[in-house]
Amino acid sequence: MNAAPKSQPQMFTRRGFLLRAGFGSVSLAVVGKVGLLCPAAEGIALPIVIFSKAYQPLKLNFEQAAEFTAESGLDGVDPPVRPDGEIRPERVAEDLPAYVEALRKRGLRMPYLTTAITSTGSPQAEAVLRTAKKLGIERYRLGFIYRVNDASWEQQLREVRAQLTDLAALNKEIGIGAVLQNHSPAGRTYVGGDLDELAQIVDGFDAEQLGVAFDIAHAVNVHGPAWRQRFDKLKAHLKVVYVKDANRDKKFVPLGQGEVGATGYFKLLKQIGYQAPISLHIEYEGGPESQPETRPALLKAVKESLRVLRQWLAA
């Protein structure tokens, strides 16, 4: 397998992010009305989208979801397209274009998807990817692959890389990229949750076909301060940044109440030139997702998360 290229993640600014989506001066004026390019936000370089699993308890339709996204000050969404997601894979041809159009009318965008796809044989895999490509979606997160207790890591590594080789070939044909997330154990152990294992999985793959979605909170939960040297092995494959926060007890908490802000991670992102959209994850015990009928609670949580995240990015 050829060595991965040394290219850095695709470069974006908030204004460039919107322009790249095909919006002219009229749309930029509309965007200004919903607060995305207001003076307070102008200096923030990175677009921020939300993993819109957080919307599901509210049972929003696509127009309502897009309106909520605009009201909160986000730049777009990273929706779950999977059996339990906002969009079910068998409905992708009808529902994904409708969701994208609802966002575009408000000057917003959908750069990523979160899927259950783990191989070319995953249900509706090709339909999801080809539909996403037509709509200008750049990357999708792979579904979870779990560690097998009765197989050695070496054996499972070979099997996982084999299935991802076929999937990477399909990605190249279609012109879309997959990303694999590092995820700490949550009842089951996820392949790639250990950053050393993740580096072994993606080694040699073209990062445009198989990259990494790096989740700093999960990395700290698994490795503590030792996440930093392991990150160096992965940065050539870094394509998407996921942000949530976790405390010393490895519990997810609102942004700013855990350990992530003190890791130096966001300065590191500046050093390596990361400027792709960030995917914000609103996931913590007692959070707004546990209050399914309170839209104001989610709106408040998103706005506060954005405030903290933009402080981290500006530091």
Non-local CB neighbours of 270 within 8 Å, separated by 6+ positions: none
Give 74-103 pLDDT, tens digit per residue: 999 999 999 999 999 999 999 999 999 999
* pTM (predicted TM-score): 0.85
Give 163-203 pLDDT, tens digit per residue: 999 999 999 999 999 999 999 998 789 999 999 999 999 99
DSSP letters for the chain:
-PPPP-PPPPP--HHHHHHHTT--HHHHHHHHHTTTT-HHHHT--S-EEEEGGGGGGGT--HHHHHHHHHHHT--EEE-EESTTSSB-GGGHHHHHHHHHHHHHTTT-B--EEEE---STTSTTHHHHHHHHHHTT--EEEPPP-BPPTTS-HHHHHHHHHHHHHHHHHHHHHHT-EEEEE----SSSPBTT-SHHHHHHHHTTS-TTTEEEEEEHHHHHHHHGGGHHHHHHHHGGGEEEEEE-EE-TTS-EESTTSSSGGGS-HHHHHHHHT--SPEEE----TTSGGG-TT-HHHHHHHHHHHHHHHHHHHH-
pLDDT of residue 285: 72
pLDDT of residue 292: 64
Give 252-310 pLDDT, tens digit per residue: 999 999 999 999 999 999 999 999 999 999 987 777 766 666 899 999 999 999 999 99
Query: Confidence class of residue 205 from pLDDT cuts 50, 70 and 90?
Result: very high
Ordered by where they begin, the domains of the chain are 14-314 (3.20.20.150)
Residues 59-69 have a mean pLDDT of 97
Average pLDDT along the chain: 87
Query: Confidence class of residue 35 from pLDDT cuts 50, 70 and 90?
Result: very low
